[in-house]
Amino acid sequence: METKILSGKEVSSSVYTSIQPAIDKLKSNNIIPGLAVILVGDNPASTVYVNNKSKKFKALGLLSQTIKLSDSITQDEIISKIKQLNEDNRYHGILVQLPLPKHIDKELIINTISPEKDVDGFHPYNVGCLTSGKPKFIPCTPKGIMRILEHYNIDLSGKHTVVIGRSNIVGRPISILTSMKEQYSNSTTTLCHSGTNDIFKHTQIADVIILALGSPKYLTNKNVKAGAVIIDVGINRISDSPEKEDKLVGDADYKSLIGHAGAITPVPGGVGPMTIAMLVENTIEAAKRLTNSSL
């Protein structure tokens, strides 16, 4: 069986092409979509993610500022900074890079961001809108997954989708999106997690499997029916030996699934590029709303 490679690089390139006219129109009206990113501490992975986001914004001629804060900063100081950004008209989107240090209440920090600038889609207001079927800002990674499916004309209607992982960042929102009564969605969705007995019992009958659990090469061809679609959100660093550099692998055993799965996203180059593309798209949408623009 030939396995279709679902390239996030290809899809994200298409997204940037499609949103360029909106960017140009906003700029012609002296509106430059702006994103403020708060980065607390020096987590290497977070630093890489933030740098990649900043590079893409700057490449598109958009405003991006990273506010780096010490991991010893107090919760009240972060909240004060967010409140300043809420009132700063230069920034249409605010993002607090996760994870945060243990002494910081993540929920309180997210709740401080104005829902109208919450381009990550994590504020309770935006979560509620998504849950009710009328989303305002959709979290970037789940939104990117749905865009990949749409780009490759993979319609979930009538299919059985299994999501592994129940985080508020990926698992829960993608389980909602895949089951909505919308085009390319409308599937029967099963949400599996650490409390699920025999997860592979579910994956073996699934038409589509979305992995977001952070366990390298967890899913193999033995756990998947032939022709299933695999969306791999996992990013895991592993090393074959102390002498070699770490390499990135997903939650799926990519090599074993080639020739068995109907389609699969690679790691890297699959879902990752789409997360940044959707962040750009959400920021542009925020700029339109906050400036009352119908562009």
Concerning whether 65 is annotated as a catalytic residue, the answer is: no
Task: Tell me whether strands 247-249 and 236-238 are parallel, antiparallel or unpaired.
Answer: antiparallel
Q: Is 281 exposed, middle or buried (0-12, 13-18, 19+ CB in 10 A)?
A: buried
- Are 1 and 262 spatial neighbours (Cβ–Cβ below 8 Å)? yes
Look up tokens 């012609």; give the residue. Answer: 28
Concerning whether 75 is annotated as a catalytic residue, the answer is: no
Q: Which of 53, 56, 81, 143 is catalytic?
A: 53
Which ranges constitute the DSSP H helices of 36-74? 44-59
The CB-side HSE value for 277 (13 A sphere, CA atoms) comes to 26
Q: Which of 56, 81, 117, 120 is catalytic?
A: 120
* Four-point Cα dihedral 226, 229, 234, 235, nearest 10: 90
CA distance 38 to 35: 10
CA distance 210 to 104: 30
The sheet with strand 160-164 has its strands ordered as: 4-5, 263-264, 229-232, 208-211, 160-164, 188-192
Residues annotated as catalytic are 53, 97, 120
